[in-house]
Amino acid sequence: MTQSFQALVVDQTQDGEVQAQVRSLDAGSLPAGEVLIRVAYSSINYKDGLAARKDGNIVKAYPFVPGIDCSGTVVSSEDGRFSAGQAVLVTGYGFGVSQFGGFSEYARVPADWVVPLPGGLTLREAMIYGTAGFTAALSLYRLEQNGVAPDQGKVLVTGATGGVGGAAIALLNKQGYHVVASSGKADAHEYLKALGAAEVISREEVYDGAESIRPLGKQLWQAAVDPVGGKPLASLLSQIAYNGSVAVSGLTAGTKLPTTVLPFILRGVSLLGIDSVFCPYDTRVAIWKRLGSDWKPERLVEREIGLADLPAALEDILAARSQGRTIVRLAD
Ligand SMILES: NC(=O)c1ccc[n+]([C@@H]2O[C@H](COP(=O)([O-])OP(=O)(O)OC[C@H]3O[C@@H](n4cnc5c(N)ncnc54)[C@H](OP(=O)(O)O)[C@@H]3O)[C@@H](O)[C@H]2O)c1
């Protein structure tokens, strides 16, 4: 590898603020790990926005390189499972959280974090899905394990214009589900229909903002993919049909869930927790294989940016100004 390379570095200024800048790093600044990767692409996820923010509660020590996923080519490996020239991807574990991440031309990681790039996916496509797409796919995997099937009713996707939401719409549509997308963006209907939503509704139709949320309402959805959490999740639980399931992955509307046991004990509703970070390795590899084959979504819209564009893009994702997936190109 070259002696120095470019990365987005988040650092603390003298007045205690946090600033993200493209900087040159040398090989010695990379963390320990068996596999050195020449990064081709990374992508922007909500957690990356938090990592670049002073009160984001992600970064433990500065300076830090965020980026919770990447795809690229192995430069060298001290682990026999990987060899130079092999195409790989990394999502989750401590990548871009406890150790330097993918907003960097080079990354060094433990071999246990590395997934071989599945057949049917290019390095670029792997990051169009990235952590968000993998999380959406894990949500579908868990819902189907729990008995959800295309012929049993409508599936609601909340946070629809976001990374997880958009990927979930495209994935579910490809599998033949009737997808209803819920979004706070009134001008996003055409975009969501192009992704695969059969119907688009406003956020308020899921949760109208009322302080007190009825635990049981009209049974509208057989299932939901929910990256939003908070009060909207409490409200959508009241709308899930008998024996239905909700896969919850996110907290963009908050962490508190003001519901009761009633949807669970009177309607048999299942609330399935989705964690892409420590998802077991075998499941992880199996889901990536499906993303390269029968689950490969046909219509995912992406925007490609370079390292220098990252600071603004990270602000956008926190302010919910992003739409769909943004990938970061790191190799020419
Ligand atoms: N559990 C896991 O393993 C895992 C993995 C990846 C992500 N996540 C989490 O999942 C969430 C979404 O991630 P993402 O990458 O998809 O983020 P994103 O691209 O920013 O999408 C989030 C979407 O949520 C909606 N939203 C934002 N603020 C809201 C609010 N106050 N009330 C209701 N809806 C709101 C917006 O969609 P609309 O404007 O269309 O409504 C927004 O586009 C985050 O909390 C992230 O940390 C978890």
Listed by start position, the domains of the chain span: 4-117+301-329, 132-273
Q: What is the pLDDT of residue 3?
A: 79
Residue nearest to atom 21 of ligand 1 (CA): 162
Element (H, E) at 76: strand 69-77
**What is the model's pTM?**
0.95
Pocket perturbation via mutation, ligand 1, pick of 42, 43, 44, 46 by most ligand atoms within 8 A of CB = 46
Would strands 114-116 and 69-77 be described as parallel, antiparallel, or unpaired? Answer: unpaired
Q: What is the pLDDT of residue 2?
A: 65
Q: Widest CA span of the chain, in angstroms?
A: 63
- Cα–Cα distance for residue pair 48/258, rounded to 1 Å: 27
Q: What is the pLDDT of residue 298?
A: 77
Q: Would you mind telling me the total number of residues written for the chain in this entry?
A: 332
Q: Which residues of the chain carry a pLDDT beneath 50?
A: none
Per-residue burial over 238-277, b = 16 or more CB atoms within 10 Å of its CB, e = otherwise: bbbbeebbbbbbbebbeeeeebeeebeeebebbbbebebe
* CATH match of 132-273 with 3.40.50.720: yes
Ligand 1 close to Cβ of residue 262 (< 6 A)? no
What fold, for 4-117+301-329? Answer: Quinone Oxidoreductase; Chain A, domain 1 (3.90.180)
Q: What is the pLDDT of residue 188?
A: 94
Ligand 1 close to Cβ of residue 322 (< 6 A)? yes
Q: What is the pLDDT of residue 1?
A: 65
Token pair of 172 as six digits: 């579910």
Q: 315: exposed, middle or buried (C-beta count within 10 Å: 0-12, 13-18, 19+)?
A: middle
Q: How many CA atoms lie within 13 A of 128 on its CB side?
A: 19
Whether 4-117+301-329 shares its CATH topology with 132-273 is answered: no
- What is the whole-number distance in angstroms between the Cα of residue 84 and the centre of ligand 1? 36
Element (H, E) at 243: strand 240-248
At position 55, the amino acid (one-letter code) is D
